[in-house]
Amino acid sequence: MDCIIDPDIVLSLSPVLPICKQRILSGNFSFLPSNLTEPEKILHLSSIIPFDCPLMVCTLGGLLKFLDRRRIGIELEDSSVGVPVLSIKKYVITQSLPIFLFFFSVLHIFKSEAHPSVYKMCSGGKEGLSLFGLLNRCQCRWGENTMRLWLMRPTRNQEELTARLDVIEFFMAPHNQETTSNIQSCLKYIKNIPLILKRMTLSNTKVSDWQLLYKSVYSAVCIGEICRSLPQTVTLFSRISSAFSGDLHYIASIISKVVDFEESLREKRFCIKPQIDPTVDDKKRRLQGLSDFLTEVARKELETLDVQIPSCCIVYIPLIGFLLSIKRLPSMQDKKDFEIDGLDFMFLSGDRLHYRSARTRELDAVLGDLHCDIRDHETMIMHQLQTLILERSAVLQDVIDYIGQLDALLAMVVSAREYGYVRPCYTSNSIINIKEGRHPLMVFCSGTFVPNPTMIGEKERRIKILTGPNSCGKSVYLKQVGLIVFMAMIGSYVPASYAEIGPVDGIFTRLQTRESVSLGLSTFMIDLNQVARAVNNATRSSLILIDEFGKGTNTVDGLSLLAATLRHWIKQDSSCPYILLSTNFHSLIQLKILPESPIVHYQTFEWCLDGEELIFFYQLKDGVSEVSQAARVASMAGMPEEIIKRGVEVKY
Ligand SMILES: Nc1ncnc2c1ncn2[C@@H]1O[C@H](COP(=O)(O)OP(=O)(O)OP(=O)(O)O)[C@@H](O)[C@H]1O
């Protein structure tokens, strides 16, 4: 399988491993012959599931638990019935880039923060300053889900990446801006279709569900129409054009033909339009003409009543039927006063007395329970409509998939346009060539961000060693390169004036993290783990970003570890990964610990001293810096002068 298993993850899985294994062994696998004994069952399952792979076992165990909780497919069954698993199929994600969890936090790909509003504190977080937050201009939840998935799973599949970039390029053209906003306004109406479909299968659909489903389907039809008018050479447009047709049109037209939204909202239940069902039409017509007819009946009833009774009316109460309603007279005090000859007293409601008479009985017999009949009939039609929609619901899954992709790409268009990103070019040459690269997030934090180039490649040197005073911009630069390459691997435009990206099969980092508490490992141990992963797994096409490796231990040990690691890669010569490394170990260069090599390139950043003041230009240049300017940086950070002075005295 094309994946690298993170040792930290395996370690953290060990407590749940036996539970997951047990869950798998006791699963309801209907594909297994029923006459198998327990040992035979284990043997059979182990031929399908690699029990020696902790990640696989825990993932499958988690999936089975999820299915059991949601009771998918057996919602209405007894709770003792387990979800039947019909088959197990292996699915290998071949093209995705191995990325470790650290990467997402150190490069600020995702950053959830507690919500600042006090009343929302308990209800989860919000996205902070992160790449996801920056790119997520999605209009619907499906776009947001797709964007999240793409960020979690960058890919090497160039065909897929080019297809995404083609869509972005199309919408980036100024003359396509109107099309962009038209599609975006339709995307807003695509709602939670799977939830509505689930309610349909449970026959628990509300009027609002019908409205939302219709709006979603109608908007999808409009998007389909728009995509049909766009160049079909763009893969996504042609896929949408062919998918958003037949069944989708059918669902949209059948809902609009059958459902009477106005009446449904008024009646708070599913109502159908006229001319859908003659029986319902007939009953509704009778119900409409009923009020005049009932007034006439009431007039006749009044003629037969005591003269003291000034008025009466005929009312209809669902499930009870027609009743004669009379205003209670002051003389009618006790129940016996309510009795009237020829009428059966039914009940008192407010100040009105209700009776059943010969005429109301006749009305019941002739007109029947009109309301209930209509309701029953309409409910039956709703079930038929639901069945028709569910039979064709596969197209709605396609809608969600393609809408998610389109929305995520349009969101990328918005940020690319707003922040001046460019389309990256993918090349088969082993090269990373970025001109005027910018850190996509840091640009918002520093007044004027200084763009810098990156050139790592076949003829260019593959190991960049960055030195420079503290705070000169080394870490920001490393992250900037990592983020630009990462953005290219999700099919986004990138913050640069030009970017040529060769094959990249993984991004390894040794960057500052705040995870030592949660992992139970020391900071130095985390550093070592991260570098070990890079040493053990990186290939010629991997990008490695190392920021100040070795500083977490005694200087000599740290320096020697760093030098040994670099020597390991220098020996690989042109097969060496793309490496960007920043260090404050100036003795690495002063003591000439590293061998002379054409693949090593020393770079630093421009800065100068204005009197005692340290000024950073953040501009990358060739060369080495042999001073840290730590004392001046400490002064800028507000350290007391006497401490800084004493530090300088000790140094010399
Ligand atoms: N290209 C740039 N343009 C503008 N400002 C920048 C740039 N790069 C870095 N900075 C600013 O400089 C600050 C320090 O940068 P950074 O953390 O990269 O320094 P450093 O060299 O890694 O420092 P240290 O060696 O102490 O870790 C950043 O927080 C940012 O405000």
Note the ipTM here: 0.98
Residue 121, pLDDT score = 52
> What number is the average pLDDT over the span 617-632?
83
Ligand 1 atom closest to the Cα of residue 445 is 31
How far, in Å, are 333, 341, 500 from residue 337 at the CA level?
6, 11, 97
Q: Which of 476, 551, 627, 639 to mutate to test the pocket of ligand 1 (most atoms within 8 A of CB)?
A: 476
pLDDT of res. 628: 67
Residue 594 CA to ligand 1 center (angstroms) comes to 26
Residue bearing the CA closest to ligand 1, atom 30: 446
Q: Minimum mean pLDDT among 3-12, 56-65, 136-145, 562-571: which range? A: 3-12
Distance, in Å, from the CA atom of 1 to the CA atom of 50, rounded to the nearest integer, reads 12
Whole-angstrom distance, CA of residue 327 vs CA of residue 348: 10
Span 347-356, mean pLDDT?
91
Q: Compute the distance from residue 367 Cα to the ligand 1 centre, in Å.
A: 84
Residues 141-169: tens digit of each pLDDT = 999 999 999 999 899 999 999 999 999 99
Residue 613 in this model has a pLDDT that exceeds 70: yes
pLDDT score at 614: 81
pLDDT in tens, 205-247: 999 999 999 999 999 999 999 999 999 999 999 999 999 988 9
In this structure, of 216-225, 282-291, 459-468, the range with the lowest mean pLDDT score is 282-291
Specify the DSSP class assigned to residue 269: S
**517 has a pLDDT exceeding 70:** no
Mean pLDDT within 604-620? 87
Mind listing the pLDDT tens digit for each residue in 400-412?
999 999 999 999 9
Distance 224 CA to ligand 1 centre (A): 47
Phi, psi for 465 (deg, rounded to 5): -110, 115
Which of the given ranges, 76-85, 261-270, 589-598, has the highest pLDDT on average? 261-270
Residue 115's pLDDT is what? 57
Atom number of ligand 1 nearest to Cα 448: 4
Cβ atoms < 10 Å from Cβ of 19: 13
What is residue 510's three-state secondary structure?
strand
| Centroid of ligand 1 to alpha carbon of 543 (angstroms) | 21
| pLDDT at residue number 3 | 45
Token readout for 444 is 């918002």
Whether the Cβ atoms of residue 585 and residue 557 lie closer than 8 Å to each other: no
Taking CB atoms and a 6 Å cutoff, what residues make up the pocket around ligand 1? Answer: 446, 449-450, 468, 470-476, 584, 618
Residues 6+ apart with CB under 8 A from 413: 168, 171, 172, 180
CB 151 within 8 A of CB 490: yes
Beta bridge partners of 543: 507, 578
Q: Which of 96-105, 227-236, 449-458, 612-621 has the lowest mean pLDDT?
A: 96-105
CA distance 247 to 540: 48
Rounded CA separation 236/259 (Å): 32
From CA 309, how far away is CA 328, in angstroms rounded?
Answer: 9
- Residue 624 alpha carbon to ligand 1 centre in Å: 17
CB 531 within 8 A of CB 207: no
Please tell me the residue having the least CA distance from ligand 1 atom 24: 470
pLDDT at residue 135 greater than cutoff 90 = yes
**193: which 2 tokens?**
């279709």
Cα(363) to centroid of ligand 1, in Å?
88
Ligand 1, atom 31, residue with closest C-alpha = 446
- Strands 425-426 and 498-501 come out as parallel
Integer angstrom CA distances of residue 79 from 68, 69, 75, 563: 10, 10, 9, 62
Q: How far is CA 385 from CA 137, 252, 282, 389, 393, in A?
A: 35, 12, 21, 6, 12
DSSP structure string for 568-617? HHHHTGGGPPEEEEE---THHHHTT-SPP-TTEEEEEEEEEEETTEEEEE
Q: Is residue 126 helix, strand or coil? A: strand
Distance 427 CA to ligand 1 centre (A): 30
How many A from CA of 318 to the centre of ligand 1?
76
**Is residue 237 within 8 Å of 265, Cβ to Cβ?**
no
> By percentage, how much of the chain surpasses pLDDT 90?
51
**C-alpha closest to that of 477 among 416, 547, 412, 411:** 547
For a mutational test of ligand 1's pocket, the pick from 450, 467, 475, i.e. the residue with the most ligand atoms closer than 8 A to its C-beta, is 475
The H or E element containing residue 509 is strand 506-510
Report the alpha-carbon distance of residue 68 to residue 278 in Å, rounded. Answer: 45
Residue 181 pLDDT > 90: yes
Q: Say yes or no to pLDDT of 564 above 80.
A: yes
Tokens of 179: 């099309």
Mutation pick for ligand 1 pocket among 466, 472, 603 (CB with most ligand atoms within 8 Å): 472
Q: Is the pLDDT of residue 122 over 60?
A: no
- Rounded to the nearest integer, the mean pLDDT of the chain is 87
Residue 125 has pLDDT above 90, yes or no: no
101-119 residue pLDDT tens:
677 888 999 887 665 565 5
What is the separation of C-alpha 211 from the centre of its chain, rounded to a whole number of angstroms?
24
Instruction: Please enumerate in sequence order all residues whose Cβ is within 8 A of that of 250, keeping only pairs 6 or more positions apart, or say none.
Output: 392
Q: Using pLDDT thresholds of 50, 70 and 90, give the confidence band for residue 1.
A: very low
Instruction: Report yes or no: 57 and 24 within 8 Å, Cβ to Cβ.
Output: yes
551: its two tokens: 């500083």
Q: Which of 39-48, 202-211, 448-457 has the lowest mean pLDDT?
A: 39-48
Ligand 1 atom closest to Cα of 616?
Answer: 12
What is the average per-residue pLDDT within 324-349?
A: 89
| Nearest C-alpha neighbor of 220 from the set 193, 187, 197, 251 | 187
- Testing ligand 1's pocket by substitution, the residue of 106, 470, 471 carrying the most ligand atoms inside 8 A of its CB is 471
